[in-house]
Amino acid sequence: MSTSTPQDSLHAGTVPGYRDLLGVPSFPTLAVTNLLAQLGGNAWELVLILFVLERFHSPALAGLAAFCGLAPGLAISPLAGALLDRFPRGRLIAFDLGVGAVTAGLLVVLAAGGRLSPFILLAVISVSSLAVPLSSGGFRTLVPVLVPRPLWDRANALIVSMGNVALLIGPALAGVLVATMGGLVALLAIGWIWLAGAILALLIREPAPAEPASAHIMRSAWQGVRYLLSNPTLRGLSIILPTTNIGYGAFVVALPVLVLRLHAGAAQVGLLWSVFAAAALIAGLLFGHIRSEGRERSIMAATLALYAGAFFVAAMAARTPFPLALLAVAMALAGCADGPLFVTMISYRQRATDPEQLGRALSISGSISYLGVPMGSALAGASIGLSLTGTMVGAALLAAVCVPLTFVLLPASSPQT
C-alpha cells in the first residue's frame, strides 16, 4: 500500500531540513497547537499531583488521580482512533482541549466552593480523560498526513521538541504558581492555555479522512485492534513502551515526594523537570538530523539503557551529600534519552502503518504505550509508603528490562508500507 501524500516528494538533489517544514500547509499551525496542548498537559500533570498533596495530603490519592486522568480515555482509544479516521482531526483535537479547559475551570469552582471531595475529584478527572486520545492520536496522525515522507523524522523531531519546550516551561511555571499563588490559580492558567489551543486547532486544514463517516464505528474500532495485533512492529512497541512507561509513571509521582522529603518545594520540582526538558529538547533537535530508518532497534535500546541509568542515579540521590544536584544530573541524563527515543519511536510507528489504518493504529498503539504512565503512577502511590527508594529503583529496572526486548520483539528489517 502506498504512503503517498499530496506533497510526497521534495526537490531533487536537496537535503530536507527543518526550514522545509515551514512550506508545508498547516504544519506550522499544527506545531503551535501541539505546543499549547503540551504546555497545558505538562503543567497539568504536576499541578494535579501538587494540588492533591496540598489539599488532601495523600500520596496515594495523588497517584490515583494521575491514573484516573489518563486510564479511562486510553481504554477507549480504539473508538477514538475510529473517529480520527472518519472526521477532521483538527476539530477533534479542539474538542479535547476544550474539554480540558472546562475540567480545569470546574475543579476550581468546586474547590473554591468547598465541594471538592476525593470522590468528586476522581470522577471529574476520569470523565474528562475520555477525550484525551482525540488530541494525542490526532497530533500523531496529522504528521504523516500533512508532511512528505522524507521530512517525517524532521517533523517528528520538531513535534517532540515542541513538547520538550512545553515541558521546559510548564512544570517550572506550574511549580512557581502553586508555590506562590496556590493550586487554584495554576488550574485556571492551564484552562486558558488549553482554550487557546482549541481555538488554534480549528484553523488546521487537512485532507479528507480516508474512511467514510457512514462506516460502522464499532467495526472500524475492532479492525484497528486486529491490525495492531497482526503488525509485528506495532505489536512489539505495544509491549516495550508501556513497560518502560510504568517506570516513568512511578517516577513522576516519586520525584515530588522525594523533593518534598528533602525539604525543598514545588518550585524545585518544576525546575528539575525543566532540566529534563532542556536536555530532551537539545537532544531531540540534534537527533532530527539523523535518519533513523533501518536503525530503530539499536537507537531504542541505547536510549532505554540511558533511561535506566538515569532513574537509578535519581534513586540514589537522597543517600548523597548533594541530593538536589545529583537529581538534576539524573534528569539531564533522562532527557538526553527521551528526545531521541521518541523521535525514533514515532517515525517507526508511522513507517510501519498502512495509511488507511493510520488513525486507529496510531491511536491504539500510542494509548497502549502511554497506559503504562497512569499504571505506574497508581502503583507508586501505594509503593512509596513502603519504600521511596525501592519505587525509583523499580522504575530503573523496568527500563533496563526493555533493552533486550527491543531485539526480541521488534523485526530486524525496517518496516515499509
Q: How many CB atoms lie within 10 A of CB 175?
A: 27
- 179 in Cβ contact with 266 (< 8 Å): yes
From first to last of its 417 residues, the chain has per-residue pLDDT tens of 333 444 444 444 444 566 777 777 788 898 899 999 988 888 887 788 888 887 887 877 887 887 787 778 777 777 777 777 777 888 999 999 999 999 999 999 998 888 888 899 999 988 888 888 788 778 878 888 888 877 777 787 778 777 778 777 877 777 778 878 877 888 889 999 999 999 999 998 877 665 555 556 777 777 777 888 888 888 888 889 889 888 888 888 888 888 888 878 777 887 888 888 888 888 877 776 677 677 788 889 999 999 999 989 988 887 888 888 899 999 999 989 988 888 888 878 878 877 777 677 777 777 777 778 878 877 887 788 788 888 888 888 998 999 999 998 888 765 555
Does residue 13 lie within any of the structural domains?
Answer: no
Which residues have C-beta within 8 Å of that of residue 117, sequence separation ≥ 6? none
Cell triple for residue 320?
A: 548523597
Q: Is 231 helix (H, G, I), strand (E, B) or coil?
A: coil
Give the count of domains, the chain: 1
Does residue 130 lie within any of the structural domains?
Answer: yes
Does residue 224 lie within any of the structural domains?
Answer: no
Domain holding 237, by residue range, is 24-201+229-409
Measured CA to CA, the distance from residue 230 to residue 334 in angstroms comes to 32
Does residue 85 lie within any of the structural domains?
Answer: yes
Give me the pLDDT at residue 211, please.
55
Does residue 19 lie within any of the structural domains?
Answer: no
Query: E strand or H helix at 380, and its extent?
Result: helix 372-383
Does residue 123 lie within any of the structural domains?
Answer: yes
Cell triple for residue 16?
A: 530536507
Q: Measure the N-to-C terminal CA separation of the chain; round to a whole number of Å.
A: 6
| Type of residue at 388 | L
Measured CA to CA, the distance from residue 342 to residue 161 in angstroms comes to 10
Cell triple for residue 123?
A: 470522577
Does residue 18 lie within any of the structural domains?
Answer: no
Give me the pLDDT at residue 145, please.
81
Query: E strand or H helix at 205, and its extent?
Result: none
Longest dimension (CA), the chain: 65
> CA nearest 377: which of 51, 55, 47, 61?
61
Which residues have C-beta within 8 Å of that of residue 46, sequence separation ≥ 6? 170, 171, 174, 175, 256, 269, 270, 273
What's the CATH number where 98 sits? 1.20.1250.20
* pTM exceeding the 0.95 threshold for the entire prediction: no
Which residues have C-beta within 8 Å of that of residue 43, sequence separation ≥ 6? 170, 171, 173, 174, 186, 189, 190, 193
Which residue is associated with the grid cell 495554576?
186
> CA nearest 93: which of 155, 129, 137, 124?
137
Does residue 386 lie within any of the structural domains?
Answer: yes
Which residue is associated with the grid cell 497545558?
40
- 297 in Cβ contact with 324 (< 8 Å): no
